[in-house]
Each structure stands twice: as structure tokens, then as C-alpha cells.
A and B are shown apart, each in its own frame.
Chain A
Amino acid sequence: MFFTYLRRELRNRRKQTVVVAIGLAVAIALVIVVNAVSTGVKDAQSEVLASVYGVGTDITVDQPSEGPVAAGSSPGRFDFDEGEGEANEDGTRDLSDDRLSTAMGTAPFDASALETVAGLDHVSGVAASLDLENMSFSGEMPDLAAMEESGAGDVTLRMGQDGTGDGSAGGSSFEINRFTVTGVDPDAAAVGPLTTAEVADGRTLEADDKNVAVLDATYAEQQELAVGDTITVGGKDLEIVGTVSSTTGDGVATASDAYLPLATAQTLADLADQVTDVYVQVDSAENVDAVAAAIESELPDASVSTQSDLAEGVTGSLSTASDLVGTLGTWLSAIVLAAAFGLAILFTVSGVNRRTRELGTLKAIGWSRNRVVGQVAGESVVQGLIGGAAGLALGVLAVWAVNLAGITLSGASGGLTMGGASEMMRAGPAGTVQGGGTAPDGGGGGAFGERPDAFAGAAGDAVDIVLQAPVSLWIVLAAIGLAVLGGLLAGVVGGRRAAKLRPAEALRSLA
């Protein structure tokens, strides 16, 4: 009788059933879409992070440099003494230099930190890397004596987006070349910057490698370098044994332009037993914060970042999408859900009011209060289930459409200069850097390349990621749960009303 009565009742007020079900369906669908897209955006964020910090990295440890770096040791500065290089007949001198140093803003710290971190509880993997920048300068500079005679004007340097520079200064012609170098531990397979890279050509670094390099495939292409060629890092020619590309997507650069065995990088940069980053893998997500805190207390000078800290640093359309989904999406689905619930409650209550005599009669002929309430609530719950099923179908369809649309999000990790740098480069005139026009009196050398932040453009750039919104079993269950909840809520409110009905209502002579 329960189901017969329920079915007949819902069929009898078809319009109402459909309206309530549609309301719930839209709300449920919205919840599914918002959740799926939100998860998709989060996945994209971790992909961006993974492309920079490597897969499986829960915590990164680095050490920001303290205060401005002294001019003499600035990584982007080349100093040439008077009379250095070979003098040419046209009054210029051939000069070249190659400099390998840590990247701006980071300071190397002792590799013993690695053991310290590895010794902590809940740490399941640890790897260190040494992030470096290689700057090379080669070209002709005016001979000081010649400049003083001719009284030459401004010296200008122009830098292109590829990070190389050229310029002329009273007959000078030179090239500045910069690329990023990362020394990695070939043994640490689980964590580290190379975990998101796959071999494009040749091979990756191996445990006993020495004085070899693996290049980012994009960078190698730009520089027309291939496996078997050599690359000069810190003044030493290294054999290129392989190229790697990002697993994130086609044409996406990896974190660094060149990868060296950690020991080689340390030797070339003259930073024995020094590293710039430690990548930490934690055994379980719930221990991440505890491990981060432990690292902070063990290494007070270090800057410790967890994945969620890093996620906040992801910029670009990804962060916009994240904000949009996070705020607008959540609010929208909450509002629509509330409206749908309200609608379901309203219709149920008005249905009970309309059926006062019917329900009163059932009480009069011996139906208990619980049976009457159960009947009313049952109708609402089934209505909710219909809405939930429709919403689930609608939501999955919408998510499928979103995935099919292939929305591309681009993001860069805030920790990298690349994103911001290329922005500035595109700004145009800023790319022209005024060099020291007239050589200082009595100072025999030319000093160039107080590298502005804009002077970047390594192979790494904003990472483009196609949004893939997943629908998890969890969200499917949650959606059905929400629909049943909506129905139950309406049923409880309507049922309470039905429960209060006096059976004597049945005797009232309503026409």
C-alpha cells in the first residue's frame, strides 16, 4: 500500500513532482560540476607544482639569501680588468667569461640538512638539488684607450625574450647567454625536480655520471643542441647525454634548462657539499604539517614550504580559475541548493495543507501518526531521489562537456621568476638596458649585467594545462546523499505538519 499510494500520489501531482525534481537536479548538477572543476583546478595546480618541484614532493626546503648580494659576487655581473682579453686592431678587445652561481634570491646551504631531514619521523623520501644559473659573456668591448679618444656616447644593450643579449657600445659587440642549471641526485628517483620529466632523447642521469649534462628538450631545440654535443657550464664543456621533456604536456618546459649530477654541479659552482633545495616526501598527507614544523625547528634558517603553501603561489589563469571556483562556484551551488531545498519544502507543506482532509481521514480510520508522517516523508524522499538521479546525469553530462571543451589553464609557480620575467620582457622598451656609457675615469674595465629580474627567459615558462575535471565516486555518493537530504528535509517539515493534524479534520465539512 505504501508504494502504491506513494506512486499514485507523485503521479497525480506530476507538475509539482517535476518542478521539485528539476530544482533538486539543477542544484545537484551544480554541486557536481563545481566540485569536479574545483578538483580539476587543484589537480592542475599540483601539476604545475609537480612540473616545478617534482612529483611526490610534499615539502620543499630552501634558504632565501639574506640581504642584497654584494656587487662583486653578483651572479649577473661580469668584471673585466683593464687589459684583459685580446686587443683587436679596430680598438676593441675580445672578452669572454662564464659564470656559474646560485639563482637570485636563493642561498646555498650545507648538504647535511639532507641527512637531518631524512632522519625525521614520517619522512619517506628526500632529495637535494642545487639550483644554479649559468651566465656567459662573449664579445668585443671597446678598448678603453680608444674610447677616451673618440668620446663615444651611450652604450646600449638590447635583450631579447630568449634571454640573450646583444649590444653595441662604441664599437662593441657581445652576447650574454643565460640558462638555468640544476644539480640533481641521480639516485633519488622518487622525489625531486626530474620526477616529472621523461627522456626525450638519449638517457637521463645515472648514479655514476660525472661531467655530463641532460638538457631540457625545449631548451635544447632553442639552442640547436643535441645528444652528443657539448654545453659549457661554469667554463667546463660537458657532454650532453640526453634530453628530457615534461610529462605535463607537449612543448612544456621542465623546471630547468640543464640537469647535472649534483656532485658535478657542486664542483663547477665551487659549492662543495652545498645545496639550494631539499625535496621531502612524507609518508601520509596528514603528517605533512607536522614534518614541516619539525624541519623548521631543525633548520631555523630554512624556508619550508608545503604543497598547499606552494599552491597559493601558483599564478596565472589557474589562480583565477581557482578563485572563481572557490568562491563563486561554492556560493552559487549553496544558493541554488538552498533554493531547491526551499522549493521542495514549500511544495511538500502546501501538499500537506491541501490534503488535510485526506490525511485526517487516514488518521480517523486508524492510521497511526508515524504511518501518515512516513507516507508524506516517503513521497518527498522519492522526489528527492528522482531529482538526485536527474541531477547526477545532468552533472556528469556537464562535466563531460567541460572536459570535452578542453579548457586550457596556464599557471606558473610564484617561486619562479620566469612567469613574471617574460611579462616584463614583453613590456617592450624595458628590455633595453642602459649600460655604463662612458667608462669611468681611470677604471679600466667595463661592468655589465646587473641583471634585472626582467632578464630571464629560461626555457621554463608558464605551464599550460588542459582542465580535466574528474567525477569521483565520493561526489556521486555525496550528490545522491544531498538529494535524499533535500527530500528528507522536506519530508520532515511536511511530516511534522501532517503529524499535528487532528483526525477530527476529517469531519469538517469542506466542499
Chain B
Amino acid sequence: MYQIDDLTKTYRQGKREVRALKNVSLTIGDGELVAVQGPTGGGKSTLLQMLGGLDRPTSGTVKLDGKDLAAMSDTQLTAARAETIGFVFQNFNLIPTLTALENVETALVPSKIARQSRTARALAALDSVGLGDRGDHLPGELSGGQQQRVAIARALVKNPKVLLADEPTGNLDEETRDEIVDLIEGLWKEQGLTIVLVTHDSVVAARTPRRLRIAKGAMKELPA
């Protein structure tokens, strides 16, 4: 699914140059569930941005299904994000003024499908995360766990090939965390999705078959 070669990303912070990723090479196969661990500021989120086409590498290539994201135009990247990549965020990032159902629908807006089938698909996605009866609730009326389920439904409604999750359980209590990890694990098993899960939580990472660790921009494989 992913073929990453010699990936380097540097940021400028004032006069200082920060190397968030240093010569990272990595292959993630189709249908893999990978956890990325590491300390805060170590480069986890930067890697996820590269994988999701949210930012461009300073050097190196990030190939998704053989196509280099770094070489794509903005329009192509936007299309890739709209069709191939699903995102789940630590803070859920739901639109506060839209209902749960409408939030899920926002992911289908770029694909320009008819409103009725859009709504039907969004409802089905909400159903699959166990929130079929909460479609008309605003995010503020839902618990943290429920909000993250809505966010997962939003990521999955477009049937992406890849699910990228940035600390999806970071803002949740233990019980809810386990529910969400159960959900993600279930999706992986049922739908054969490729999932990259960034987490600093060892408990979460321990449940995945493959674990990576990034610290100070360098990556290493952890033993299974």
C-alpha cells in the first residue's frame, strides 16, 4: 500500500531548522494494521501528514498504490484525500454546527453524489459505528467516545483504502478507549482496511500486529 523511501522533512522554526523526519524508509502492505509510537515531538504526526498527503516531504518519496504523493498537484492530492484516505483525529474535529449525520455527509460532498444516496450512505456508516439513532445530534450533545465514532464513520463513509488515525484514543477514558480500539480492530478485520494508528498509548499499540517507533525523526521497527 505504502512505499516510503528516504523520507526527510525539515521545518523552519524561526532561524532554527527542525528535522522532523530523517531518512525514513518504510513499507506498509495492503490490509496491514500498524501502530506508530514515540514521544511527543518525535515525528509521529509528521509521518502521518506525509502518509495522508497533508504536507509534502523535503526529500524522498511517499508512494501510495505506486503513485508518489510528493509529485502530485494540489488538485490530485485533494482528490486522493477525498477518495482514498480516511482521517481520524485526536480531537475528533467534527463541525460543531452540523449534526452527526451531516458531519458524516461532509466527507461525501467532494464526490458529488446525489443528496439522497449521500444521506443513505452516511446513515449506514453511522449504523456501522453503532450510532444510527444519533444522526440528528450535534457534536456537543454527544460524549467523547460517541464523537470519535462519528469521526470514524466520517472517515469510512467514502470507502477509503487507508485509515490514518492520529491519537484516536488520546482524549478518551480507558473504557471508551477500549471501545474505540475494538471498533477499529473490527473494521480492520471485516473490511481489510490498511490502518496506520499513531498512539503514545502502549496498551493500544500492544493490540496491533506491527509496531513502529519514531524518536528524534528516526524510525525503528519494534518486535512483535
Chain A residues within CB distance 8 Å of chain B: 1, 4-5, 8-9, 11-12, 357-358, 361-369, 371, 502-504, 506-507, 509-511
Contacts beyond the supplied A5-B106, A365-B86, A509-B167: 20 A-B pairs with Cβ under 8 Å: A1-B106, A4-B98, A8-B98, A11-B97, A357-B91, A358-B93, A358-B96, A364-B93, A365-B82, A365-B106, A365-B107, A366-B81, A366-B158, A503-B81, A504-B49, A504-B54, A507-B48, A507-B166, A509-B91, A511-B91
| Chain B residues with CB under 8 A of A509 | 90-91, 167, 170
Contact B95 A5 (CB under 8 A): yes
Q: Counting chain A CB atoms within 10 Å of each CB, which of B74, B98, B105 scores highest?
A: B98
Closest to B166 in A: A507
Q: 6 closest pairs, A vs B, by CB?
A: A366-B82, A8-B97, A361-B93, A504-B54, A366-B81, A366-B110
B109 within 8 A of A: yes
Contact B95 A357 (CB under 8 A): no
Contact B79 A366 (CB under 8 A): yes
Q: Counting chain B CB atoms within 10 Å of each CB, which of A1, A11, A361, A507 scores highest?
A: A507
Number of interface residues of B (CB under 8 A): 36
| Chain A residues with CB under 8 A of B105 | 1
Q: How many A-B residue pairs have CB under 8 A?
A: 87
B154 within 8 A of A: yes
Contact A365 B87 (CB under 8 A): yes
Closest to B95 in A: A358
Chain B residues within CB distance 8 Å of chain A: 45, 48-49, 52, 54-55, 74-75, 78-79, 81-83, 86-87, 89-91, 93, 95-98, 102, 105-107, 109-111, 154-155, 158, 166-167, 170
Contact A12 B109 (CB under 8 A): no
Contact A367 B54 (CB under 8 A): no
Task: Please report the C-alpha to C-alpha distance between residue A506 and residue B155 in the assembled complex, in whole angstroms.
Answer: 14
Contact B55 A364 (CB under 8 A): no
**Known interface pairs A1-B105, A4-B102, A5-B95; A368-B89 also in contact (CB < 8 Å):** no
| Chain A residues with CB under 8 A of B90 | 509
Closest to B157 in A: A365
Contact B91 A366 (CB under 8 A): no
Contact A364 B81 (CB under 8 A): yes
| Chain B residues with CB under 8 A of A504 | 49, 54-55
Q: Counting chain B CB atoms within 10 Å of each CB, which of A4, A5, A361, A367 scores highest?
A: A361
Chain A nearest Cβ from B76, distance in angstroms: 11
Chain B nearest Cβ from A127, distance in angstroms: 70
